Structure 1
Amino acid sequence: MIFDLSFGKINIINNNIAEVLVDEGVIFTLEMCEEYDAFLLEQFPEKFAILNNKIHKFSYTYEANLHIASLENLIAVAVVTYDKNSYLQSQNYKKLRLQDHWLLKEFSGFKMGREQALEWLEAVLADSMIKR
């Protein structure tokens, strides 16, 4: 099921994975983070994971970078990139949020990255359910 939000679309893949597709040129703000968080909390009361499919170019404000993806039940984030700039942006983001100890992994969109990302997220979620 696909939902339209102010910054793009969220595709609910299954009971615990959401794919995020941010629109071209969006500057993701703290207010958008709040909208994003409220939506995810409503959809996923239990552990879940995010597939950030970076088809379009977009950016984050500094405040949004510090806040995004900080929900307690968020287990892992997979990022699918399609160019070097998006990959580097993802690497910088990971460095900025090292203290969060996230499970974050990048995949190339040109090498079956979306499918690999989904497989990785499903494995991480399965492992987290075993450790309950």
Structure 2
Amino acid sequence: MKFQMSFGVINLLNDHIAEVIIDEGTHMSLEMCEEYDELLLNIFDRPFGLLINKLNNYSYTFEAKLHIASLSHLKAMAVIHYNSEAEQKTNDLLALRETDKWNLKTFCGLQMGREKAIAWLDKAVAKHHQDSNQLANSLDSDLDS
């Protein structure tokens, strides 16, 4: 399923991963991030991962950099880059948001990165589902005692 947004497209890859492709030259604002969040909240009601496919060159306002990737159900992000500039922008954003301790891994799109990124996201999100199920079972057994 594909969702056209004001800033690009979000592809729903499965029930726990969405791919984000931002349009060339976009300057992501806080309002665009809120549009993005609203859609993700409507799609996912449990842990999910994002595949950020940096096919295009784009930037963020400072406010957007501080807001992006703040949803509680977002458990893993994979970023596919195609050049050193895109990789450096990701590293700069990671440094700015270091205290958030994002579960983020980067992949080179020129080396089968998309397939590797999706496989990594599947495992990362599955771990959160497994941990949630174990916690729920533990709470159920505590209540039965």
| TM-score for the superposition, normalised by structure 2 | 0.90
Task: Write the distance in 2 (CA, Å) between the matches of 1:30 and 1:90.
Answer: 18
Task: Write the distance in 2 (CA, Å) between the matches of 1:69 and 1:118.
Answer: 18
The answer for the alignment partner of 1:127 in structure 2 is 127
The answer for the alignment partner of 1:75 in structure 2 is 75
Q: Which amino acid aligns with 1:91?
A: N
Instruction: Name structure 2 gaps, 5 residues minimum.
Output: 133-145
The answer for the alignment partner of 1:63 in structure 2 is 63
1:61 Cα deviation from its structure 2 partner: 0.5
RMSD over aligned Cα atoms: 0.5
Instruction: Indicate the percent of aligned positions where both proteins have the same amino acid.
Output: 47
Q: Deviations along 1:38-63, whole A, 9 cap, x unmatched?
A: 00000111111100000000000110
SS in 2 for 1:10: strand
Task: Write the distance in 2 (CA, Å) between the matches of 1:29 and 1:88.
Answer: 20
| Residue 24 (str. 1) matches residue 24 (str. 2) | yes
Q: Deviations along 1:72-93, whole A, 9 cap, x unmatched?
A: 0000110000010000000111
Q: Which amino acid aligns with 2:94?
A: K
1:129 Cα deviation from its structure 2 partner: 1.2
Alignment size in residue pairs = 132
1:104 Cα deviation from its structure 2 partner: 0.6
Q: Deviations along 1:66-115, whole A, 9 cap, x unmatched?
A: 00010000001100000100000001111111111110110000000000
SS in 2 for 1:66: helix
Task: Write the distance in 2 (CA, Å) between the matches of 1:120 and 1:15.
Answer: 15
Task: Write the distance in 1 (CA, Å) between the matches of 2:37 and 2:127.
Answer: 24
Task: Write the distance in 1 (CA, Å) between the matches of 2:23 and 2:116.
Answer: 23
| TM-score for the superposition, normalised by structure 1 | 0.99
Q: Which amino acid aligns with 2:129?
A: M
The answer for the alignment partner of 1:48 in structure 2 is 48
1:126 Cα deviation from its structure 2 partner: 1.1
Instruction: Name structure 1 gaps, 5 residues minimum.
Output: none
SS in 2 for 1:110: helix
